[in-house]
Amino acid sequence: MITENLELIRNRIRASCNQWHRDPADVLLLAVSKTKPAADIAEAYLAGQRHFGESYCQEALKKQQELGAYDITWHFIGPIQSNKTKWLARDFGWVHSVDSLKIARRLSEQRPAGLPLLNVCLQVNISGEASKSGIALAELPELVEQVAALPRLRLRGVMAIPSPETDFEKQRVPYRTLYRAVKRLDDPKLDTFSFGMTDDLDAAIAEGSTIVRIGTAIFGARQR
């Protein structure tokens, strides 16, 4: 059902963009493939999907080896351990979950010179949950300035995972808050808002998302 699910979610993105007067071409679908086998990723690839998100470094590296013949752009979206940064810097095109200057420096130092700049987003703990990674919103301006100065990184924007809400208007609030905070920085290079998952996709698009991270609606429930 992966091929059919991809078409359904693409249609949902198009419909949401139309509702909120946005260009669907401005919203990238990131297929979250963590815990899913390489065969599922291959099926999605053959259905036209090119961007895949992983949260576990060793699992992702194994899949990258298995799928080396495919022209995939790999995104890392999980919590970052310092001892894994050399692999993230070497084997991924994007890292969404940078939440400290220390991690950003390691990624910059370990990004091979022969590769393009590593695209990074700063993860903001927009709901202030103790169980989640990310910086406080008040820390964003300083960290933006620090990370933007690092030589092997391209700071693209922000990522957020708000606390779950079922009410549409409540889902919109944290995304709106973070979007406006980034816009107040008045930096045109900050063009990426990694907002929205299966359950709050429409609210995220309403509030400016440029990357939606969709797993369950494509691959089914996670195995762990």
DSSP for 80-146?
--GGGHHHHHHH-SEEEEE-SHHHHHHHHHHS-TTSPPEEEEEEB-TT--TTS--B-GGGHHHHHHH
Tokens 């429930």 locate to 221
pLDDT at 222: 66
CATH of domain 2-219: 3.20.20.10
d(CA 11, CA 85): 36
What is the per-residue pLDDT for 224?
A: 52
The pLDDT, as a whole number, for residue 129 is: 79
Burial 95-122 (b: 16+ CB within 10 A, else e): bbbbbbeebbebbbeebeeeeeebbbbb
Query: Please, what is the end-to-end C-alpha distance for the chain in angstroms?
Result: 20
Q: Identify whether the C-beta of residue 210 lies closer than 8 Å to the C-beta of residue 192.
A: yes
Amino acid at 150: L
Q: Does residue 41 contact residue 30 with C-beta atoms inside 8 Å? A: no
List the chain residues with pLDDT less than 50.
Answer: none
pLDDT tens digits, 145-203: 999 999 999 999 999 999 999 999 999 999 999 999 999 999 999 999 999 999 999 99
Extents of the domains making up the chain: 2-219
Residues 6+ apart with CB under 8 A from 183: none
Amino acid 223: pLDDT? 59
